[in-house]
Amino acid sequence: MRATIVFENAFDAGNRSPGRHTGAGFAAHRASMAREARAKSAKVDGVSEWQGEHPAGAAAPRAPARDEGAERDGGPVRDCMLKLAMIALTLGPTTAPAALADPDRPSALADGLFQVESGVRREVAARTYQTADGSIRFTLDRTSGTTLMQFDGTEEVLALQSVVGPRNDEILRTDTGVSVVRITSTGGMVFYRGQGDAGIPAALEAARPPIPPPAPPPGGLQRSLQVLVTAYATQTGRPLEIQVGSSPVSAQPLMWDATRRAVTALEAARPERASMVTRVSVTVGTPPGAALRGQMLQVTVTPTMGWGGRPSSNAIRRVIDGG
C-alpha cells in the first residue's frame, strides 16, 4: 500500500476564496502579487525572482530583502509545519491509540464487535483493554446478560453491576460497590484502581472470544476439595473443613469456583479474623452471598445466574474481616 502526503502552503489552505485573506495570510498574498509584478521587468542582484509555483518537494527561493514580512510569515512557518508533519508521520504507527489520551474518544475497533439482529445491536465478542500507562490489561465481556471482567494473569471472573452516572456515563461496579470502570456517553473509558482513585484512561486493544462459563473441578469435586484443603493448611498452618451441599452435576462448576473464592478470601483476610474460621459450607440458594456464623463461613450460590451467581473473593473477605 502506498501513501501520498501533500503539504500545502501555510496560508493558501485557509484563504482559497478571493477577498478572504486576513492577517499574516493577507501580507503573504500582497507580497506574492508584488513579486509577480516585479518578475516581469526586473532582476535583483543578478538572480531572477520567483515566477510561479516551485516543484513539489523543492524549497521556495529566498525572497528579496524588501519582502521581509512575507519571508518571516511564509518560510519558517512552512518549514515548521513540514517538520511537524514528518514527526507525526514517523510516530503515528507506533504510538498508543488516541483513546489513551482522550477517554471521551471512542475506538474504531469497536465497530467490528457488534451484530444487529432484528434491529437490536448485540455484542458478539469480548474485548481486552489496556490502561494508558500500560500497567493493567483486562477483559470486559458483555455478550451475555451480565457484564464480566477478568484481569490478565488472574483466574477470578468478576460479575459487574451497571449504574448510570453523571453526564449519562455508565459506571461498572463490583458486588462490593466499588467502581472499576466508567464508560463515557461518547464511548471512551476510564479505569479505577480502587476506591477514591481519580481514574486513568483505558483503550480498546483487541477482540477476543467470550469468557467461558465456570469449569468443572479437575478430577471430580471431592478430590479437588481435598487438594484445596491440603494446600490451604500448608500455606497458613490452619486446619480447614469444607462442606459442599448436595446439588445437580450442572451446579458443581460454580460451587467449585465459589469454594476457591472462599479460600482465596481466607488467605487475604486479616489473620486474626481468618483464624476464627474452621469450616466453609457451600450450598445452593438465593440470593448469592456470604455470611459468617460463628466459626463457619456460609457461601450461597445460584447456579442459574452463571458467574454472577456466587460472591467475589473480595465480598467474602469483607464478611470475614467484619465488614
Per-residue pLDDT band for 19 (boundaries 50, 70, 90) equals very low
CA angle 304, 308, 313 (to 5 degrees): 130
Cβ distance 139 to 128 under 8 Å?
yes
Could you say which of 186, 208, 230 is where a domain stops? 208
Q: Is residue 213 part of a domain?
A: no
120 & 199 share domain: yes
Asked whether residue 305 is domain-assigned, the answer is yes
Domain co-membership, 56 together with 106: no
Q: Is residue 216 part of a domain?
A: no
Q: Are residues 116 and 34 in the same domain?
A: no
* pTM attached to this predicted model: 0.65
In a domain, residue 79? The reply is: yes
**What's the pLDDT at 195?**
77
Please check whether residues 201 and 225 belong to one and the same domain: no
Q: Is residue 214 part of a domain?
A: no
In a domain, 3, yes or no: no
Per DSSP, 72 falls in state H
What are the residues whose beta carbons fall under 8 Å from the beta carbon of 194, sequence distance 6 or more? 178
Residues 282, 186 share a domain: no
Residue with cell 465456570: 214
Who has greater pLDDT, 5 or 175?
175
Q: What contacts 51, CB < 8 A, 6 or more positions away?
A: 36, 39
Distance between CA 59 and CA 123 in Å, rounded?
Answer: 52
User: Given this model, what pLDDT does residue 26 score?
Assistant: 45
Residue 92 predicted with pLDDT over 50: no
Residues 172, 89 contacting (CB under 8 angstroms): no
Amino acid at 72: R
Q: What's the number of domains the chain is made of?
A: 3
pLDDT tens-digit readout, 302-321: 999 999 999 999 999 999 99
Tell which of 208, 243, 269 closes a domain: 208
70 neighbors 63 (Cβ within 8 angstroms): yes
Q: With a cut of 50, say whether residue 223 has pLDDT above it.
A: yes
Q: Which domain holds residue 27?
A: 12-94
Query: Contact 258/220 with Cβ under 8 angstroms?
Result: no
The residue from 70, 94, 118 where one domain ends is 94
168 with 109, same domain: the answer is yes
How far is residue 190's CA from residue 183's CA, in Å, rounded to a whole number?
7
> In the prediction, which pLDDT does 6 show?
33
The Cα 149–Cα 274 span in angstroms is 27
**Taking residues 282-289, what's their average pLDDT?**
97
Residue 187 lies in a domain: yes
